[in-house]
Structure formats: structure tokens, C-alpha cells
Structure 1
Amino acid sequence: MNKMYKVLATASILALAAMPVAANAQQLPAQAVQKGNANKQTDVKNVPATWGQITNFVHDKSDKFITVTGRGLAPTDQDEIVLAITPKTKFIDAKGKTVPLQKIIDGHKTVKAFYSPNITKSIPARGTALTLVVQDQSFSAIDGKVTEVRDGRILVKGTDVYDKHDEEIWLHFADKATIIDQNRKTIAAGDIKEGMSVRAFYGPAVAMSLPPQSGTNYVIVNTNMEDVNPGEVNELTAGTAGVITDQKDGQITVIGQPLEKGGVNYVVLSIDDKTQIVDEDGNKLTKDALKTSGHVEATYGAVMTLMYPAHTHADKIVVKKAESVKIEGTVMPSDRTSKDQVYVNVGSDDSTANDVILNISKETTIIPALGGDTALRAGTKIVAFHSPVMTKSLPGITSAEVVIVTSDKDAVQPK
């Protein structure tokens, strides 16, 4: 193993299961205490958070983003999330002392990252960082398969979540270990079988036996993941059914709905000679068939980059007969719209001849601006792809399939 561990005496191995790897109590950023009434409780809001390490850092000309990978503090929180760093983001230790972001990254520090509840529905989700609290103790994590089950412990062989090295380790379950399946339902340690895939958090102490041993109190188990034959892999691939919203440099961007087997609603796909491109009848097509506004069903593997939108390689693309109409403009207030409709000033100009009213339904995929929400308020600038079927009224009414918010800085704020 390409890794250094804290060395423990053999007699300490049984105590590993009691180590406080990742306590289940959710800590929240300190809130201002109410004044004036000694019996009045502090007003504390339930702030979502991810407990883990920073696995990616992007700093371009105008923005900073970090990816935090680990586990959600609450069942509804994200195991992995991309967070925008703003001037209001705080980086502190457990005593409230400021810690430089670069020191957190360079030291591979474990953090609790609290963020705004307004996050995107992408995978990984994307939001705005509020406070990162550096933890006194670190932990490690492994993605792998259970190769042996014995006496309240499991042998896991796989890859370290953070340094990507090959890993094999015996994990002892703590007395109150949290063990959940892929649906976030609690299961017993006895439900874990050989061949199942797990993500397990352990440490900070690790015994240098062969294989090493440590305690764990948080394990995510995929009870459906079993070995498959090479010919069956394609049946398990994820995918997206939607609209091609951009194409350049051997890549296409697809926005739509994830397939039932998994996937994301917003993905950039690289296209090469290994990508199978066919029509709905299975006839082979060339890359020229992949056009902006065209409808496709794309399938791809589970390995994606940790950026937003996700980037991966397209294994197969089925080109549909349907096509959308692309427009750009600004959402405007109007007495001609009803609930679940928006009036779009196409071209953001003084002309009303080409304006449209978009019907927004549950089938519409809305990609919000970073840190924003899916509400399309007046003043929001958008790029939209809509159905070619439109009423003959002025303005025409049609169904929105994809709406991308390009700017919401001028959007009217709710009262």
C-alpha cells in the first residue's frame, strides 16, 4: 500500500471499532444568540453540510470553486458537492479561528462544509459555501468491494477515495455504526455480503497489520451491486435523454432527464471513434448527425470528472427524429401569462413580433445560475429550447424543454 498510517499495538486492534470516525450528530455554524429573554432559545436553522475533504479546487479569473467529497451530515445532505467560494465564505477551525483555504487544501484537512440550501439538481450538486469548519481529527474512506465477512468485520478491497491508491483493509464496526444501503435505508451489519460494493469511512487510527485494520462507524452499501460479465456491462450504464445544447471540439452538451438506470441531467460528452451513433431504428450514423437542438439518448459510464457540468465519454448515442427550437432572451412580466408560464422577450429587444410564451412543466429541465434557484423571475436572461409546435397567437405559446439561466443578477427578487 502506498500510504503511511499511525502505528498501533496489536492489543489496540479491538479498540478500533470504538474510534470516533464520523459522529452522527450534526454540528451547525454558530448562530447569534437571542437577546432580551434569558429563557428564549437560540434560533438555529438546519443548514445542509458535507463532511469530507476538498478533492478539487478551481480558480479562474472571476470565481473560485471547491469540490467536497465525503458524506452528508444528514440523510438528505450531499455526499459530494461543488461549492462556489464568495467573500462571505468563512474558513475556521473548531475554536472559530480563521484558517487559510490553501492550508486546508495542502494539508488534506477534513472539513464540515456548510452551504446554502439552494443547490442544483445535477450530480454532483452545485451550491454556495457558507462556512467550512476544519476538524481536529481526520478520517479516510475507501470505495471497493467486500471480499470477506468475518466476526463483525469486513475486508474491503478497492481504492482510497482521496488519494486514489489501491487499498485493502479490515474494517471493524463500531457499536453504534451507521450502515445504510443505496436508498439511504438503515441495514444491519449482518446484511453485508461478499461481493457487495461499499463506501466506508474509517480512522484516524489504523493498525499496521497485513492487511491493515481500522474502526468504522459509517458505511454506505450497494446491496444490488454484484459481479457482472463483461457482456452485461452496457446494460448497467447510465445515460441522459435530452437536447443537444452545444457542440464543439469533439464534444456535445446534453441537457434533459437521467435514464432510469442512472445518470445526470446536464453532461458534456466526448465523441470519438469508439462512440456508437445510431438512429432510432439502429442504423449507423456519423458525427454529422449530432446537431445543436437535436434530441438524443446518450449512454455513458459511471466515471465522470468532478466539475460542473459533469464530463465523460459517450459510449452510445441514439439520435431521435425530434428537434427543438432555440431562443435567447429575457423573462418579462406580462398579464398574458398564467401559472407555470413565462413571457420571453426573444432577443431582449424592443420588438414583440418574435416573443414567445413558454409553458413550464415537470418535463422541463431548468439549469439555474450558480447558487440560484429554478424560479424564472422577470429580468432573468435565458437560453431556451422549446417544442416546434406553437400556437398561432401573438405571442405564440409553446412548451419549454430545456431552459438555461445565463444571468439572474437583474431578476426581480421575491418580497
Structure 2
Amino acid sequence: MNKIYKVLATASIFALAAVPVAASAQEVPPAAAQSGQGQVQNEAKVVPATWGQITNFVNDKTGKSVTVTGRGLAPSDQSQIILAITPETKIVDARGKSVPLKTVIDEKKVVKAFYGPNITKSLPARGTALTLVVQDKSFTAIDGTVSEVRENGILVKGTDIYTSNEDTILLHLADKATILSQDGKALTSGDIKEGTSIRAFYGPEVAMSLPPQAGTNYVIVNTEDTGSGESGNTDQELKAGTDGIVTNTADGKVTVVGKAHDKGGVNYVILSVDDKTQIVDEDGKALTKDALKADIRVDAYYSDIMTMIYPAQTHAGKIVVKKAETVKIEGTVKASDRASADQVYVNVGSDDSTDNDVILNISKDTPVIPTMGGDTKLRPGTKIIAYHSPIMTKSIPGITSAEAIIVTSDADTVQPK
């Protein structure tokens, strides 16, 4: 939702535009952190890191982990990553003083999260945190579209990456602002045009004018943007896709889980749908947005440029609605001698009855989607939503093939001994 701001004095707004953005949080130099074996200086030069806020915290039987969302300290580093917190992980401020993790989370502190080079290829990637350096100043970021290019800045309309609130802000580019393409190539301010999609980091100072104004010195530009603020619909631009099932529709967006296309894509994606989205049936007949409902099968095509949050988000270029039916169950994974290594027994309805229980065949192609980016192991006690083949054996329980599994909770899982 759009925010209403009080207008500051004109002099204050001009003063903001004149203030060097070097005072903003993004330009705090790489901190020196005490490691117990002397100081580690300028870790960013030798260790990958993500600079941002902790957007999710998990502390259960599987261990302790945090999700850090922001930007890579180097263009090649992750903009979002899930990091395991171990007894060896150092959490310190810029002076090397220990900081409780609870304080970092509760106060929404910005951190530089350094991690080892061994990370997974999942989205988001997973690794192990080496050091979290807590920053003195904060910042936020907006994913949006440049609606106007002015002499004193760019007007951006979009979504705050941390609150998901719709926002509009006038951003003043610092003289030495870092402007990069989505693949890390250096750009200039001239590459930012009206209609361009960007992610811009700003703050901590924001003038509460109408619209609000702030300085920015780090902008990521979607250079494959068509000038309309969304990815286009040509075959060349629709490089990625997901063949799967719509699990939710709300606010002009659809959530799709399934199998990523061989040429690119993810198995869990939120797609914005608008008048530029081509919606057709399997025969190519045009359909309206009303055809997009929960639990239908679709083949969704989109650009391979997407927000690196979990789940990934982007614009739907084309959606093919399929005729095949879907079958959905909800329940809890249960230990059973009837299930083999490639199967899971599901207590459908999580009740005391076994009449409607199901055994699901799990293959290497079955997407298992943790809604909060957690564990994908289907241990006993895991609560799931599963879509499966309409073909099922007449045995009790019936046996069928899982097509997509969504993990809704793993709080009560039984850990292996």
C-alpha cells in the first residue's frame, strides 16, 4: 500500500540532494573482525559475502540458520542466501565486539554476512556463515520501475524488498554510484531510462517529502527490460519457465510450483500477471485472467531476470493453461513399513483414520518446496501439501506418484538417530 508522507521544508529537501551519499550505510568500508587468531582485514576481497538484513530465522532440530537478503558485496556474490549458524560463527560489530544474534534480528540490523565458498546451487543458495559483521547504519532497497528520469534523480515505483509494501521514492544518484547490470557489468547513469526495472539500495536518511527522497549509491539495472517495466513476451526474452501447478492467486499474482524448464527457470515462483501477459489454452486460444485459478496445471514462461528473494518473483510473459486435472492432498508424513526408500506414507488429514491415507512415489524430478526456504527432507512429522497423479492403485493405502510437494511445516519432524 502507498504511504502518506508529511512534506518537509523545501530547504531540507535541497539539503538532502546536496549531501554526499558517502554517509549512507552502503559505503561503510569492509569491517575488521576479531577471529580469535588476530584481525581479519578486508574480508570482502577474499571471502564471498552478502550485505543486507536477516529476513528469516530458523532454530529447530535441524539446526540454526538465517536468511540474509540484500546484495552481494562483490557483483558475483549472492543477493540472498541461507546460512547455517554454527558455534564457530562470529557475530561482531565493526569494533570486533560480540553481538547477540537476537539483537540483530529484533532490531533489524544490517549485516555483512561472510560465508565459505562451498554453497549450493539452489535458489536461494545455502552455505555456512563464517562471520556476521553488524553495521552501525541501516539501509533498505526497492525493486521497481523507473517512472521518470529527472535532473536531480530518478523516480522509482515498486516494492520494498524487506516489507513487501508498495512504495514510490525519488532517488538521487551519488557521483560515484555503483551501477551494474544484472550480470555484474558496470553501467552509467545514462543506462537508467524511463521504464527500466531496477533494484536500488538507499538510506538510512530519507526525506519525508511527497514523494520521499533519498540518496543511493548502488543500483542493479535489468538491461533486458523492454522499456515497459516488465519483461516482454517474445520467445527470445522468455528464456525461463516452470511446468507445474498454480497453488495460489492473489493481487494480480499467481504462485506456480513444478519442474523448471531445461533452458532455465525455478521450481517455485510468484508471477505478476497483467495485460501484457499472454494467457492461452493448449490449442493457442486466448483466455482471460479468470482462467488462472488455484490447483490448475500450467506451463508458465518468463524472463530469466527475477528478484532473488524466496520465492523468486518476476513477470509472466506467457501462461499456457492445461486441461489435465490435479489431485491435491494435505497431511503429515508418517513412519511406515509399507513405504520404501523412494516413497513416503502420508496421513491425509493428519487424523486417526487410515482409510484415506496415501503412499507417494518420489522421484528425482519431484519438486519438494519448503515455503520458507527450510529443509526439503520428508521426515516423519513433516506437514505437507502434495499434488499427485490421478492414477492410483486400489490398495489401502493407495499408491500414486507425487508431482509436487509443498512443505508447510517441519516443526514436529522426527530427527534420525
- Per the alignment, residue 68 of structure 1 pairs with 69
Give the aligned residue type for 2:94.
Answer: D
- Per the alignment, residue 79 of structure 1 pairs with 79
- Per the alignment, residue 134 of structure 1 pairs with 134
Structure 1 residues 84 and 397, CA, compared in 2 at 3 Å: closer, same or farther?
Answer: same
Aligned counterparts of 1:28 and 1:309: Cα–Cα separation in 2: 32
Shift of 1:166: 6.6
Shift of 1:371: 5.9
Q: Conserved in 1, the CA contact under 8 Å of 2:257 and 2:267? A: yes
Q: C-alpha offsets along residues 211-249 of structure 1, whole Å, 9 cap, x if unaligned? A: xxxxxxxxx999xx7898999763223432211112345
Aligned counterparts of 1:294 and 1:129: Cα–Cα separation in 2: 39
Aligned counterparts of 1:285 and 1:313: Cα–Cα separation in 2: 17
Give the aligned residue type for 1:69.
Answer: G
Q: Conserved in 2, the CA contact under 8 Å of 1:2 and 1:165? A: no
Counterpart secondary structure, 1:389: coil
Structure 1 residues 133 and 362, CA, compared in 2 at 3 Å: closer, same or farther?
Answer: same
Structure 1 residues 2 and 323, CA, compared in 2 at 3 Å: closer, same or farther?
Answer: farther
Structure with max Cα Rg? 1
Give the aligned residue type for 1:345.
Answer: N
Aligned counterparts of 1:350 and 1:342: Cα–Cα separation in 2: 18
Q: Conserved in 1, the CA contact under 8 Å of 2:247 and 2:294? A: yes
- Per the alignment, residue 52 of structure 1 pairs with 51
- Per the alignment, residue 206 of structure 2 pairs with none
Superposed CA RMSD in Å reads: 5.8
Aligned counterparts of 1:135 and 1:58: Cα–Cα separation in 2: 18
- Per the alignment, residue 95 of structure 1 pairs with 96
Aligned counterparts of 1:311 and 1:339: Cα–Cα separation in 2: 34
Give the aligned residue type for 2:391.
Answer: V
Name the % identity.
52
- Per the alignment, residue 334 of structure 2 pairs with 332
Aligned counterparts of 2:355 and 2:105: Cα–Cα separation in 1: 53
The equivalences for 1:290-369 within 5 A come to 290-301=292-303, 308-368=310-370
Aligned counterparts of 1:274 and 1:384: Cα–Cα separation in 2: 31
Shift of 1:350: 2.2
Give the aligned residue type for 1:236.
Answer: E
Q: Conserved in 2, the CA contact under 8 Å of 1:379 and 1:410? A: yes
Q: Conserved in 1, the CA contact under 8 Å of 2:114 and 2:130? A: yes
Give the aligned residue type for 1:53.
Answer: G
- Per the alignment, residue 214 of structure 1 pairs with none
- Per the alignment, residue 213 of structure 1 pairs with none
Unaligned stretches of 5+ residues in structure 2: 1-15, 38-46, 58-65, 144-153, 162-168, 192-197, 199-219
Structure 1 residues 49 and 104, CA, compared in 2 at 3 Å: closer, same or farther?
Answer: farther
The equivalences for 1:65-214 within 5 A come to 67-71=68-72, 78-81=78-81, 92-98=93-99, 101=104, 111-113=111-113, 121-122=122-123, 124=124, 132-134=132-134, 165=171, 167=173
Q: Conserved in 2, the CA contact under 8 Å of 1:92 and 1:131? A: no
Pairing partner for 1:278 from 265, 274, 280: 280
- Per the alignment, residue 11 of structure 1 pairs with none
Pairing partner for 1:396 from 395, 398, 410: 398
Shift of 1:291: 3.1
Shift of 1:355: 1.4
Q: Conserved in 2, the CA contact under 8 Å of 1:51 and 1:70? A: yes
Aligned counterparts of 2:338 and 2:319: Cα–Cα separation in 1: 39
Q: Conserved in 1, the CA contact under 8 Å of 2:276 and 2:317? A: yes
Shift of 1:58: 8.8
Shift of 1:266: 1.7
Aligned counterparts of 1:352 and 1:273: Cα–Cα separation in 2: 47
Structure 1 residues 344 and 268, CA, compared in 2 at 3 Å: closer, same or farther?
Answer: same
Give the aligned residue type for 1:314.
Answer: A
Aligned counterparts of 2:137 and 2:250: Cα–Cα separation in 1: 45
Unaligned stretches of 5+ residues in structure 1: 8-19, 34-47, 60-64, 144-157, 173-180, 190-194, 200-219
Shift of 1:318: 0.8
TM-score scaled to structure 1, two decimals? 0.58
